[in-house]
Amino acid sequence: DAKTTQPTSMDCAEGRAANLPCNHSTISGNEYVYWYRQIHSQGPQYIIHGLKNNETNEMASLIITEDRKSSTLILPHATLRDTAVYYCIVNPGAGSYQLTFGKGTKLSVIP
């Protein structure tokens, strides 16, 4: 898997948008960008994934730069329950490839 770089931690005010960046400058053409989050003492939760187009679902939006070397996960209206570690992972998304987790970003939503 290509490596990703994320800030160690971020704070966000409750109700504001949380923008979590991720650099993946060595991503291959067939690799997707996945975002997961892990709330304390729980299993990771799938948020969103994309290949090259921007994606949006009920949880978040994913913005991928045109050169695909970086992306941003956007939580439009952060709540206290969004406090978690967020992982950005690149993966071919096919076959039996495992997800390789980096250190992620610890997002703290502040009241």
Partner 1 sequence: GAVVSQHPSWVICKSGTSVKIECRSLDFQATTMFWYRQFPKQSLMLMATSNEGSKATYEQGVEKDKFLINHASLTLSTLTVTSAHPEDSSFYICSARWFRDRSGGYTFGSGTRLTVV
| List of residues contacting partner 1 (CB under 8 A) | 32, 34, 36, 38, 41-46, 49, 51, 87, 93-94, 96, 98-104
Q: Which is nearer to partner 1, 73 or 87 (CB)?
A: 87
C-beta of 29: minimal distance to partner 1 in Å? 14
* Angstrom distance (rounded) from CA 109 to CA 111: 7
Three-state SS sequence of 54-94? CEECCCCEEEECCCCCEEEEEECCCCHHHCEEEEEEEECCC
C-beta of 102: minimal distance to partner 1 in Å? 6
Q: Which is nearer to partner 1, 29 or 98 (CB)?
A: 98
